[in-house]
Amino acid sequence: MTTAAILTAAGSGSRLGYDEPKALVGLGGRPLVAHAARRLVASGVVDVLVVTAPRARADDVTRALAAEDLPIPVRVVEGGASRQASVAAGLAALPQEVDVVLVHDAARALVPPSLVARVAQAVRSGHRAVIPGVPVSDTIKQVGEVSVEGAPVLATVSRDRLRAVQTPQGFSRELVDRAHVAGLVRAASEATAATDDAALVEAIGIGVWLVDGAEDAFKITTPRDLAAAELALAGHLAVDELEQVEAALVALRAERRSPVPEGRDRSPAPEGRDRSPVPEGREPTESDAVPDDEAAS
């Protein structure tokens, strides 16, 4: 099976309070999009990466990813008016041979590689739509009409069966393509768009499977979230996981660059042609292209 990851990084991230798009905001000396890309790739389950970038900043995203020397083909495409539209643009850019798709938000920059592998494994084992989720710790109330003074409480929702949903979400390619086509009319604006891809699958009546998420896959939305991410990087993540991510990337780079043992089915893009992201709107050149027929080998 050939697995692609679509990394959504085309949002403005205005709630973070930076002029920069959120994906380019730095965390421990690296932009968020670079953290997320490294962790997707370090999982060892991703064969090709497609990244959605803000229209005016595709070159910056391309540069940030090129600096990581990722050992798989990377392609940068322009995002759309909503997250849903950006994912659709990513799907349209996938090589033909891809049959499993992981969709991940750059805003979940510290996703553990083990979570990426768990989601991919669940899809490969036969679940066609898989999402990670974590139990909800707050008591949840349903409220009536909200005004500046507050809102009436209508009900207390039992939290036993509630999960806060994360990314990456994994799908069989055929299903996620079909779900996005069916939900296309919603993509024009964030007001109508689905906030995750599983919702589009649910909307066409197909079941979605939930696996355990991970605390470190939290979404960076506010300055407080960014501070929490800095703390995680300086604290518990620094001890083991950062080293593991780097070690996994070093091993994958070495594997990609070594000769293919006889009888093994691996045909990577030729050396020097498989790691340079190409922004949409610019034709790939001989030196940086990721040809469709090679990209997901």
- Toward ligand C5P, which CB reaches closer, 28 or 294? 28
- Toward ligand C5P, which CB reaches closer, 3 or 86? 86
Q: Which two tokens stand for residue 140?
A: 């949840």
SS3 (DSSP) at 165: strand
Residues of this chain that interact with ligand C5P (CB under 6 A) are 8-11, 22-23, 52, 79-80, 82-83, 86, 105-107, 221
C-alpha R_g of the chain: 19
- Toward ligand C5P, which CB reaches closer, 4 or 289? 4
**Whole-number minimum distance, CB 12 to ligand C5P, in Å?**
7
C-alpha to C-alpha distance for 117 and 121, rounded to whole angstroms: 6
**Whole-number minimum distance, CB 20 to ligand C5P, in Å?**
11
Q: Which two tokens stand for residue 197?
A: 């891809």
> Would you mind telling me the total number of residues written for the chain in this entry?
297
**Whole-number minimum distance, CB 221 to ligand C5P, in Å?**
6
Nearest to 214 by CA among 87, 106, 108: 108
**Whole-number minimum distance, CB 104 to ligand C5P, in Å?**
8
- Toward ligand C5P, which CB reaches closer, 48 or 218? 218
- Toward ligand C5P, which CB reaches closer, 11 or 31? 11
**Whole-number minimum distance, CB 7 to ligand C5P, in Å?**
8
Nearest to 79 by CA among 186, 211, 187: 187
Q: Which residue is nearest to ligand C5P (CB)?
A: 11
The CA-based angle 263-297-109, given to 5 degrees, is 125
Residue corresponding to tokens 């030196």: 287
